[in-house]
Amino acid sequence: MRVMHILDSLNRGGAEMLELDLCRNARANNLDLTFVATGGGDLEGDFRNSGVTFQRLQRRLPVDLRLARRISRIVKEREIDVVHTNQAVEALHAYLATRGSQVKRVMTFHLCTSDGRNKVALNLLAPRMDANVAVSHELLKCLGHEAGFKTSERFHVVHNGVDARRLEPTGANLRAELGLNDGALVLGMIGNFYPDARKDQLTVCRALPRVFAEVPTAHFLFIGGSFADAPQPLDECVEICRELDISKRVHFLGKRSDIPDLLSSMDIYVQSSVNESLGIAVVEAMLSGLPVVVSDIGALLEVTGEGEYAATFRTGDAADLAGQLIKLCRNEDRRRDLGQQGKGWATSHFSIETHIANLIKLYNQVLKSRS
């Protein structure tokens, strides 16, 4: 079985890091993978050196028939059996490149909602895929109930996976960078400040005064950037921390690429989201051995074993979050046990090896239906 994966951009993002982890581990896990990029980005060098056959093309138009012909040529030359895409634009060109052939088509959904053009394209393409993948059961439910897809047919759940080796810290002393002593208790969260406030960092800010009053050594790190055309969510968090007089203990670090070192500097990881498809940042924190505190939305409960491997709080409830954080801050044994148990859970359910094994199982399933 030979498989092709296509991405339209190689800029750093969730789907891109998943694909990079997959490329780096494909050969060791018996996946014969060809990777095609139809656009560039800051991860291009990493993909070129990832250990799989790499083809760099360039999409020049929203619907680029020349690009579809080039993909078709590679499919024939490489004798590809399955083409797998992650976005509407990739799926459209994969469909054009393989229609009329025996090649099977798979498309992954990472989000429930899409803008106008992508929504139209996805509604057109989903019935023409041999398999559609949702990255969580919660997302599958949303795709059916809110997005209107017929998820009873050709839809499957395959959780994303993470390469734990990518999370090994370099040893950089980030506490020294931030002026924190070894006795500081560091809490943190990774997530951009989206215009729709889906990560709900504001609830964390509102919880922190009580946490800081009860735990004098505590500090909080926010890792993630804002958007030039919608800076309000970040600005609001910065302003409320100033008003609450906690700015000296709250550190807004912006976008960072040294995630393993940041995670290794933390004692507790927090995810306060009101909307997630899966919660890959929580998986990375668990694989790093951190105890995690998550809002009780469906996707974050799913990723933490229905909350068994996390402390949970009522979504949007700053008082409940503060209480959970204070309990963990005061109980080192509980932090250690929760971190160890969560790491074991994440390793068995969300490793890149598990992800690849589940993909291969799905590919074999769709190939059996070949006429």
Type of residue at 338: L
Confidence of residue 178 (pLDDT cuts 50, 70, 90): confident
What local confidence, expressed as pLDDT, does residue 43 receive?
94
Question: What are 84-101's pLDDT values in tens digits?
Answer: 999 999 999 999 999 999
Dist CA 148 CA 185 (whole Å): 45
Which strand ranges, in their side-by-side order, compose the sheet holding 185-190? 250-254, 218-223, 185-190, 268-271, 292-295, 311-313
Answer yes or no: are the C-beta atoms of 145 and 134 closer than 8 Å: no
**CATH superfamily placement of domain 2-163+352-368:** Glycogen Phosphorylase B; (3.40.50.2000)
- Give yes or no for residue 371 having a pLDDT over 80: no
Residue 255 burial by Cβ neighbours in a 10 Å radius (0-12, 13-18, 19+) = exposed
HEC profile of the chain: CEEEEEECCCCCCHHHHHHHHHHHHHHHHCCEEEEEECCCCCCHHHHHCCCCEEEECCCCCCCCHHHHHHHHHHHHHCCCCEEEECCHHHHHHHHHHHCCCCCEEEEEECCCCCCHHHHHHHHHHHHHCCEEEECCHHHHHHHHHCCCCCCCCCEEECCCCECHHHHCCCCCCHHHHCCCCCCCEEEEEECCCCCCCCCCHHHHHHHHHHHHHHCCCEEEEEECCCECCECHHHHHHHHHHHHCCCHHHEEEEECCCCHHHHHHCCCEEEECCCCCCCCHHHHHHHHCCCCEEEECCHHHHHHCCCCCCCEEECCCCHHHHHHHHHHHHHCHHHHHHHHHHHHHHHHHHHEHHHHHHHHHHHHHHHHHCCC
Residue written as token pair 């979050």 = 321
Dist CA 199 CA 33 (whole Å): 34
- Give yes or no for residue 40 having a pLDDT over 70: yes
Dist CA 141 CA 14 (whole Å): 21
Confidence of residue 321 (pLDDT cuts 50, 70, 90): very high
Which residues have C-beta within 8 Å of that of residue 40, sequence separation ≥ 6?
9, 10, 56, 58
What local confidence, expressed as pLDDT, does residue 141 receive?
96
Question: What are 331-357's pLDDT values in tens digits?
Answer: 999 999 999 999 999 999 999 999 999
The whole-number average pLDDT for the span 136-164 is 95
The whole-number average pLDDT for the span 168-180 is 89
- Give yes or no for residue 363 having a pLDDT over 90: yes
The whole-number average pLDDT for the span 43-67 is 96
What local confidence, expressed as pLDDT, does residue 181 receive?
87
Dist CA 369 CA 371 (whole Å): 6
The domain limits of the chain are 2-163+352-368, 169-349
The answer to whether 2-163+352-368 and 169-349 have equal CATH topology is: yes
What local confidence, expressed as pLDDT, does residue 370 receive?
59
What local confidence, expressed as pLDDT, does residue 340 receive?
97
What local confidence, expressed as pLDDT, does residue 175 receive?
87
Dist CA 151 CA 143 (whole Å): 7
Question: Residue 44: how many CA atoms within 13 Å on its side-chain side?
Answer: 12
Question: What are 106-123's pLDDT values in tens digits?
Answer: 999 999 988 878 899 999
- Give yes or no for residue 139 having a pLDDT over 90: yes
Question: What are 204-240's pLDDT values in tens digits?
Answer: 999 999 999 999 999 999 999 998 888 999 999 999 9
- Nearest residue to 128 (alpha-carbon basis) of 93, 160, 163, 161: 93
What local confidence, expressed as pLDDT, does residue 116 receive?
79
The whole-number average pLDDT for the span 10-31 is 94
The whole-number average pLDDT for the span 40-60 is 96
Averaged pLDDT score across all residues of the chain: 95
Q: List residues bridging with 368 in a β-sheet.
A: none
The whole-number average pLDDT for the span 256-262 is 92
What local confidence, expressed as pLDDT, does residue 14 receive?
84
What local confidence, expressed as pLDDT, does residue 284 receive?
96
Q: Regarding the domain delimited by 169-349, which CATH topology (the fold level of the hierarchy) does it fall under?
A: Rossmann fold (3.40.50)
What local confidence, expressed as pLDDT, does residue 182 receive?
85
Q: Pick 12 or 185 by higher pLDDT.
A: 185
